[in-house]
Amino acid sequence: MQLSWHGQYTVKVISKDTTLVLDPTALRAKADVVALSNPSDSEMSQLSGIQGDPLLIDTPGEYSFREFTLHSIGWHADLPAGEVGDGKERNLQRWMVEDMVILHVGALNRDLQEQELRELERVDIDVFLVPIGGGSGLNVKQALHMISVIEPRIVIPINYTEGIKAFAEEMGVSNVTPEKKAILKASKLPSEDMQTIILAP
């Protein structure tokens, strides 16, 4: 499996001859599957650059397409007391690709609720695509807490422009040299120590 990050929440996953794109922004790419974790946000749902005739997934549920299977859980954003929510549903995505489990939380802006955590942890999380840039999603402190709760084998930070060095230090990474892509195999996942992979957009 080949995984690359393309800025903000956009991630591309390639398995054999199938390409999955998560939350496309200004990305031009051919895709077989496009999954939107926050379909009401136009910045995270830019389909104009996607080529081909992909399967579009933008609601919670169970899905299967070639090498990819998805368990998606719906959620609504937390707002300060007294404010009315927008009623728009987002979703948390747990993918299974080549016997590896990938968690994509999109623009989640809070800790996981107990019920969500129980649902997601029915299987061990191998790869956690964790947003650390704040804004509409998690900040570094929230991301570190979530990592400690989920305990994935591999952590890949996304949605960052700054703060990656501080995050890397917290994760025990001394040499921050972003890679263009990650090549992952189930048989070569770390068995004990958590690994952090820094990708360049």
Domains and CATH numbers, the chain: 2-79+87-196 (3.60.15.10)
Q: Are 49 and 29 in contact (CB under 8 A)?
A: yes
Residue 62: in which H helix or E strand, if any?
strand 61-65
Residue 35: in which H helix or E strand, if any?
strand 33-35
Instruction: Please check the confidence at residue 94 and state whether its pLDDT lies above 50.
Output: yes
Instruction: Please check the confidence at residue 184 and state whether its pLDDT lies above 90.
Output: yes
What's the token pair of residue 142? 């929230």
Per-residue model confidence (pLDDT) at position 121: 85
The pTM of the full predicted model, rounded to 2 decimals, is 0.93
Q: How many CB atoms lie within 10 A of CB 191?
A: 6
What mean pLDDT is predicted for residues 169-179?
A: 91
What's the token pair of residue 176? 């921050």
Distance CA 12, CA 3 (A): 6
Per-residue model confidence (pLDDT) at position 79: 54
